[in-house]
Structure 1
Amino acid sequence: MTEIELAGQVVELVRRLGGSGAQAEAVVTRADLALTRFANSAIHQNVSESTVGVRLRLHVDGRTAAGSGSVVTADGLRALVERTLTAARLCPPDPGWPGLAPPVPVPDAPPVDEATAHAEPDERADRVRAFVAAAGDLTTAGYCRTSHRSSAFANSAGHTAYGSSVEAAMDGIARRDGADGVARRCADRLADLDGAELGAHAAAKARAAADPVELPPGRYEVVFEPAAVADLLQNLSWYGFNGKRYAERQSFAEPGVAQFDQQVTVVDDPLGASGLPFDAEGTGRRALILVDAGTTRAVAHDRRTAADAGAESTGHAIAGGATWGPMARNLRFAGAAAGPASAVGRSTTGTAAGAVVDTDTAALVAGMRRGLLVTDLWYTRVLDPKSLVVTGLTRNGVWLVEDGTVVRAVRDLRFTESYPRALGPGAVLALGARPVRQPDRVDGTWWTAPSVRLASWHFTGGASG
């Protein structure tokens, strides 16, 4: 039975068991996920799974409940519907129920790469082998993964939709004497992942990170590489461009206000890559401009937050959205790249930036008088959601830059910073020209950004406290 037939069967079961007044939406997803993991420069795990999952949400007698299951037999589907109906009877009334998505066409999904969808373990292993070989005598660890999802939607209003997506990703580190270098990529085709290039990049960063010095806390000019910018995008999405948090006045977003530097444009673009063409409520997904040349234009909505705001869903419903709110999970950071501060075309001297970064990032580094080059951010936690003040740590390489030259490695630093302030008017000095797509821990979520040069970043503690 196809995914769309299974989804229709679930909706019909709700009608039969819950009565003609029951409203239901069902999503059936067939997922083929494969992972090749390596550590100590050798593959130690190769796993794959193929699953079919069913997610049901229903509204009956003024109450809403959701359930999920992976048993797609007749008995399994019936059990799912029965327990979700039982749950609905125990739930409080839901006066904010926005109703079901009407039967309207959804956009066409981009074509999927069949070679990636059906990739064999040895194809992932080839990229791991190339990564390890390129790192030479350094110890390496990481993964290469591929995923293929086909998903169907049906609801009791007669709306149906179908789509499929694929993804390939690689994330690896190289280590020497406690110094790590990292390289990550996400792509629509496994063929576009170059293990040798990533391994060489990670190894060069690890070698350049030896013998770090400790710097005092304070505000420093910074160049953030794409991996670090990905953390900015993730937190901006979850806490800022989230329609539920916006309605609760827990978001910094003020549509129509120039909250960011003019060089900043942020677009959620799920169909700019191989993404599903509809969300958890069956609403079609399209590109949504969140920030346009510095001005906040929109927040993401599902049907519930859109109804509260007197707007339309932007296609950002997720499972569990009643709790977490709608999420934009495919952000692309773009903007005008070259300005006087970017020093495009200049090269560095002394400790060559080419040993640490690519030429695109090196051009940004060349424009700094004194600051820090930051590879990655991690363990970030929100202290104040309204102003989006975040604390976290650097990792996988930090370097001091003086007069456009990378002079030496720096020990990791703790920071406390408002992300919107750091990207605010006049704060973005330059952008790299080449965006790089970064994978998330969850397939189907990615963050695309160039390197970014910022006027100020608040480091509040060194490695010793």
Structure 2
Amino acid sequence: MSELTLAGKVVELVRAAAGPHVQTEVGVHHNAEALTRFANSAIHQNVAEATTTVRLRLHLDGRTAAGSTTVIDKAGLTALVDRTLAAARMSPPDAAWPGLVPPTPLTAAASGLDEVSAVADPELRAAQVRAFVDAAGGLETAGFCRTTLSSAAFANSAGQAVEGRAVEAAMDGIARLDGADGVARLAAASLADIDGAALGARAAAKARAGGRPVELPPGRYEVVLEPAAVADMLDNLSTFGFNGKAYARGQSFAEIGAQQFDPAVTIVDEPTRGGGLPFDIEGTPRGPVTLVRDGVTAAVAHDRTSAAETGQVSTGHASPASRSWGPMALHMRLVAGAANGSGVSAGPAADSAAPLVSGVERGLLISDFWYTRVLEQKSLVITGLTRNGVWLIEDGEVTSAVGNMRFTQSYPQALAPGSVRAVGGPSVPMPDRWSGVRYTAPALHLASWHLTGNASG
């Protein structure tokens, strides 16, 4: 039976068990992910998993409860309904219940899904891995190549019924030489759009350029951030800033209508363009949402709960965790600027970072951030480490590798008016550790970044 038929069946089971007055939401999500891992320049694991999950949320006599199951036969669905009804009767009153989405057509849907990638066999992923390893020219390599198919449907007791599919492919790999790592990664709508050889060559070039790093003193440095580092900025801005729950509770930096960013900054969330489904788990249709336009904060992500709390409408960002953690924009794109790169650089700067280096008198080229943690949420002060390559730039030229450093930096402050020297191009889709999450970023030339110590001490 189709996902939509299955969702409708659960709605009817609730109606039969508790009557027509129960407000019921049912989401059915089938996720098929296949992953090829490699290490020591050889494939060591192929795994594939396909799971269908049914999520039920209902509101009964002013009380709300939710449950889920992967057992989708009659007994499994009946048990889900029974225990969720029992949980609702024992739950405290839910004054924040926002009601159900009325019947609403989808506003956007992915078209031309790549069916080859949706059912890609291990040989297709292995070919990408082989190309990556060969292009690294004998350097030690490791990483993964994955393909994911998401097929989902939603139905509720108010009559909303929608369904959709999404496909994503991704590759993430490193090359290593004498302790220096170079990284290259890419997400795409099709496995055919990923060039394993180009990624392997890029990672190897960065590793070769990373030898004999020097140590620099802490301080504020002009920086060029490559797309992977910018993707971390987008991730934290989404999680703690453009989060409707955080905004409603005064915990976010976001001020709608204020010029909080440099005019060069425009950020949009594009679920159906970024490998997401065309509706959220509350059945709200999804479309593009402009979060920042020409530096002005224009919106935050809302589910129905945070939207009701702030007098807004849902932007289609409900998730299984959104009532607890808040709704998040997981397909954000920082719009590329006029400084367009082309092809793969032979040196450490790649893609949209290469043309930005020439504009730096003295600063740093940074590949990637990791282990980033929030120190202060309201101003979004983040601490973290660099990794996978840092280089000193002098008079527009990369002159030497630099040892990894710790930073402590407010992300909104780094993007504030007057702080963005240039935005590179194109924007590059970066795969997240979770399939279905994608941040698309160009390189950025920023006036100041606060490096607070060396990673060694």
Pair in the same fold by TM > 0.5: yes
Determine helix, strand or coil for the equivalent of 1:432.
strand
Task: String of CA shifts for 1:146-184, please: whole Å, max 9, x gaps.
Answer: 000110000010110000000000000001111100000
User: Which residue of 2 is the match for residue 289 of structure 1?
Assistant: 290
Q: Report what 1:429 is aligned to.
A: 421
Question: Residue 376 of structure 1: which of 368, 379, 389 is its match?
Answer: 368
2:393 to 397, 401, 407: 401
Corresponding letter in the other structure for 1:186:
A
Q: Distance in 2 between matches of 1:359 and 1:308?
A: 42
Q: Do 2:202 and 2:346's aligned partners in 1 also have CA atoms closer than 8 Å? A: no
The AA in structure 2 aligned to 1:190 is L
Q: Give the superposed CA RMSD.
A: 1.4
Q: Which amino acid aligns with 1:266?
A: I
Q: After TM superposition, list the pairs within 5 Å mapping 1:82-121 onto structure 2.
A: 82-111=82-111, 112-121=113-122
- C-alpha distance in structure 2 between counterparts of 1:188 and 1:263, whole Å: 27
Counterpart amino acid of residue 117 in structure 1: A
How far did residue 12 of structure 1 move?
A: 1.0
**1:138-153 correspondence runs (5 A):** 138-153=139-154
Closer/same/farther in 2, CA of residues 63 and 180 from structure 1, 3 Å limit? same
Does structure 2 retain, via aligned residues, the 8 Å contact 1:148–1:167?
A: yes
Q: How does 1:342-361 map to 2 (within 5 A)?
A: 354-358=346-350, 360-361=352-353
AA matched with 2:280: D
Count of aligned pairs between the two proteins = 455
1:381 Cα shift? 0.3
Task: Give the corresponding residue for 1:341.
Answer: none
Aligned ranges for residues 50-449 of structure 1 at < 5 Å? Answer: 50-111=50-111, 112-338=113-339, 354-358=346-350, 360-449=352-441
Measured in 1, the distance between the counterparts of 2:165 and 2:172 equals 24
Query: What residue number does 1:44 align with?
Result: 44
- The SS at the match of 2:317 is coil
Q: Which amino acid aligns with 1:115?
A: V
Q: Distance in 2 between matches of 1:200 and 1:336?
A: 25
Q: Structure 1 unaligned runs (5+)? A: 339-343, 346-351
Deviation at 1:274, TM superposition (A): 3.9
Task: Provide Cα deviations, 1:248-305, integer angstroms capped at 9, x if missing partner.
Answer: 1000000000000000000001122442110110000010000000000011111111
Distance 2:127 2:136 in 1: 14
Contact 2:385/2:455 (8 A) holds in 1: no
Match of 1:349 in 2: none
Deviation at 1:463?
2.5
TM-score for both structures, normalised by structure 1 = 0.96
Q: Which runs of 4+ in 1 moved over 6 A?
A: none
Normalising by structure 2, we get a TM-score of: 0.97
**Quick one: which amino acid aligns to residue 306 of structure 2?**
T
Gaps of 5+ in 2: none
The more displaced of 327-336 and 212-221 is: 327-336
Alpha-carbon separation, structure 2, partners of 1:9 and 1:276? 22
Give the deviation of 1:119 after TM superposition: 0.8
Q: Give the aligned residue type for 1:45.
A: Q
1:359 deviates by 5.4
Alpha-carbon contact 1:369-1:403 (below 8 Å) kept? yes
Q: Is the 1:180–1:397 contact (alpha carbons within 8 Å) kept by the matching residues of 2?
A: yes
Q: By how many angstroms is 1:398 displaced?
A: 0.2
**TM-superposition CA deviations, 1:174-216 (whole Å, max 9, x none):** 0111110000000000000110000010011011001111111
Q: Return the alpha-carbon distance in structure 2 between the equivalents of residues 318 and 50 of structure 1.
A: 20
Where does residue 444 of structure 2 map in the other structure? Answer: 452
Quote the Cα distance in structure 1 between the aligned partners of 2:50 and 2:147.
12
